Each structure stands twice: as structure tokens, then as C-alpha cells.
Homo-oligomer: A and B are copies of this chain.
Amino acid sequence: MAIGRKTVENLLKLTNPKWKTSITRVEPNKLVTRGYSQEDLIGKISFPEMVYLLVNGELPSEIDSKMLEAVLVSFCDHGVTPPSTQVARLMASTGSSMKECVSGGLLSFGKFHAGAMERSMQMLQYLALNGVPEFRGPLKSGQDVKAVAEKVVDEYLSKNEKIPGYGHRYHSEDPRAAKLIQVAKKLECVGVHTQLALSIEEILYETKEIKMNIDGANAGILSDLGFDWKVGTGIFMMGRLPGIISHVFEEQTVETPFRKLIDTEEIHYSEKG
């Protein structure tokens, strides 16, 4: 009996598939995400639960879901001061589309802007797992954490480097950080990563009067929630996206197109070299 062409073709494809995924299985009239039918999830789980399910592969506990909700809400907006928002609005002013302005905004999260949370998560996760030479990890709550925090602050200060997650150019005390920590404590969501972040703040405040910012607080909390530091900027993008979209919409509907944001007399020309 002859084997049909389609059968051979499909057999060959399955032998060496180029595309593999464990996220969502697509079948005609059926979508199964991380083992759950999407029909069952819609109208039942919250958006933060879906985020957790997609990224971590399983549904979170009720408490973790509430904590993640607070984290996502905290990233919402910082007015027109962030360069990412200025970029998105400048682009909207030229008549670029929503998705273009949003992409421009997201691409503006450089190492000096919004990159701190991911670096802070990386630092906290490394320290929680490995400790420092004098206090080898995995860290346990309490005494170890404080000792490690001291070593870390010493090292950064001796190299005159900024610890990611502390200090803010507009706020001496970032109002979002304090509130997030308060929520985490109330929900009993403070694990070793957040403890470490808080210990670092304590020492840093004593020596330099620098406080934790939103990135530092969320770096601790997201690490305790089990998020890999590699998705740090990703989580920030989820939280900030509605803010950027609102600014683009405001620029498109309230302002005159193609605004002159620089007057020629504001430019200084110099010769090179």
C-alpha cells in the first residue's frame, strides 16, 4: 500500500521539528495554555495570575497573585519625566502609529533608565544563592542576610559604584517603594531577597542617606515571588505599558501634530575636536 505524500511530509516534519513550545498548544477551536484550556481561564483568573502562569508555568497562590498585582500597579506611570515617555510622545507628535511609539518607548529602557530592576534582581538572586565569600549561601533569614548586606555595600562603595535599586533623581524617598514594602509585609510576602534589599537600604541610609527606590523594592519582591531576573525588564514593561499608551493617546488627541520641541536658538554648536 502506498503511503500518501501528506503522510510522508508530516512524518518528516515531526522527526525534526523547528518550532517547539511548552506555553500554548494550538488545535482547531482549542487553545491550551500551560495545561489549562483558555476558555476556562477567561473570566475566571486575574491578569496577574495569567502573567504568573505564562512566565512561571503554574498558577500562583492567592497571596502571590495579590502581591504581583501590587507590583504591576506600582509601575504604572511617572508623568512626562522619563525619557521613554518623552520618546513615545515625540514619536506620536510626528504622526507615528501607536505600536511604533510604544516600541520606541520600550527600546528607551537603557541601562541608566529602568534597567536597574533587572540588575538588582540579578544581584539579589546571586547573593541569596551564593552569599559572599565570608558567608556562603544559600542565605537563611536574619543574621546571614545582614552580614552579606554589609559586605555588598562595602564593596560597591569602595568601588564608588551605585547599587542598583537605590536612590532616585526626583525623589529623596520614592513613595512607591515604601508602600510596596508595606504591602509585602502585610501579605507576609517578605522572603530572603526582600530582606536583603531592606538590609542594604538600612546600611546605605545610615552612611549615605540614600533610600530604596521602586526598582529595589520590586527586585526583592519579584525575586521572592519566584521570577527569574532575566524577565525583570519584561515585568516592568507589562506594568508601564498602560502608562506609555495613555501618553501616546494624550499626545495624539490633545496636542498639535509635529510640535517644535527645540527652538534653533536653544542649540549650541561646537566644532569637533
Contacts and interface: CB of A to CB of B under 8 A. Distances in A.
A67 B102 CA distance: 25
Interface stretch (A8-16, A151-159, A190-198): A8-16
Number of copies: 4
A50 interface: yes
A267 B79 contact: yes
Interface stretch (A90-98, A135-143, A199-207): A90-98
Contacts of A270: 20-22
A149 interface: no
A127 interface: no
B175 A268 contact: no
Interface of A: 5, 8-10, 12-14, 17-31, 33-35, 37-39, 41-43, 45-48, 50-51, 54-55, 57, 66, 69-70, 72-74, 76-81, 83-84, 86-87, 90-100, 102-104, 106-115, 169-176, 178-180, 182-183, 186, 228, 230-231, 233-235, 237-239, 241-243, 245-250, 252-255, 257-273
26 contacts: A5-B12, A18-B259, A19-B86, A19-B267, A20-B255, A21-B80, A21-B270, A26-B78, A26-B264, A30-B175, A39-B176, A43-B66, A50-B242, A81-B262, A81-B264, A81-B267, A83-B94, A83-B261, A86-B262, A92-B110, A96-B110, A98-B234, A100-B107, A104-B104, A106-B106, A238-B241
